Chain A
Amino acid sequence: MSIGILGKKLGMSQFFDEEGKSIPVTLIEAGPCRITQIKSEATDGYTAVQLGFGDIREKLVNKPAKGHLAKSGEAPLRHLKEYRLEAIDGLELGAPVTVGDFSPGQKVDVSGDTIGRGFSGLQKRHGFSRGPMSHGSKNHREPGSIGAGTTPGRVYPGKRMAGRYGGKQITTRGLTILKVDAERNLLVVKGSVPGKPGALLDIRPARRVGVPAAN
């Protein structure tokens, strides 16, 4: 049974399957995480566990966080993340969560921040087509018309325009785990995941609408 795990994106590579097909894969260094808090119906009104991940220097942790982490173990942790669970029996404070909880063939959802692209224009942000670059045209990457005239006399809400693009959390769903290396804390998933190498990722068993969660 896997709760979920926090990890770091290492980068992409490829993998040959039995048929010799080359499959694009992402390598993720996931865990080991530590259970830092268990939330129960009695204390919090719902059931969940909080996992901690990542080395951090002692002095970078403030006192409240230190006090919270001290309940579950010695080492300070950089990231904390809560996972809603139906059953929390058998889970212990301070217990490790490793990639060993996942198995090859399992489907997972991977969340993380996408690559930040800053203030981007319409071509990059919304896939608009651009104007001609030559033949006297001055409309290279302009937005064009953003609406009608006096009627309605305003721009409709939701009109796609230039603005901040990327750098927000998305979830890539239903990725297949191809390999689990418990020794190296390595997860190999098929396909791509959000962010650049080094980005923090949240890996959970895949959930589907209408399909009850496995745990």
Chain B
Amino acid sequence: MATEIDPSTEVDPQTPDAEPQSVEAETATETVMATAATTVKVTTGKLSARALIDEFEAAQLKSDLPEIYVGDTVKVGVRIREGNKERVQPYEGVVIAKRHGGLNQTITVRRIFQGIGVERVFMLHSPQVASVKVERRGKVRRAKLFYLRDRVGKATRVKQRFDR
């Protein structure tokens, strides 16, 4: 790759000739930092393919998402379009799985609606997800709570935890 630069030419404020490059690198990181909390590794001048993709994705990431853990009870505001009108419909349930990371991050939210289990998968960074609010923290010992599917009634409760 032409853009891979050897570590010795990495930004170094001590050497005067590296000065303009460091300014460039800083502005590049700042723009990325402003949009999301992820840092993009910036080499001098030209960005690598990975850095360019990261930057493209960082621009779409939401910065105001709460920290969501598996087992939490969350209220997701879902944007719904009816004709020309747009409204936000809340959907509340237990997070039984988290998948992927970055722009592709999803959560699976399960709830019992009219006696029937309903699971919805939300792409957290999608504009369709207007808001996510954590209602209750859950204490669980699994990363995926698929065992809840086999349970009914009281057994589906998730113990609350208070240290988060």
A residues contacting B by CB (< 8 A) are 8, 10-11, 13-16, 18-20, 22, 27, 29, 54-55, 184, 186, 188, 197-198
Contacts and interface: CB of A to CB of B under 8 A. Distances in A.
Contacts of A14: 57, 103-104
5 contacts: A20-B127, A22-B123, A29-B52, A184-B55, A197-B49
Contact of A13 (B81, B103, B125): B103
Main secondary structure on A side of the interface with B: strand
Given A184-B47, A197-B49, A198-B1, A16 B127 contact: yes
Nearest to A54: B2
Main secondary structure on B side of the interface with A: mixed
A13 B57 CA distance: 7
A198 B52 contact: no
Contacts, number: 46
Given A14-B104, A20-B79, A188-B56, A198 B125 contact: no
Contacts of A186: 52, 56
Interface string B52-74: 11011100100000000000000
A27 B128 contact: no
B41 to A, nearest CB: 15
Contacts of B57: 13-14
Contacts of A184: 47, 52, 55
B83 to A, nearest CB: 14
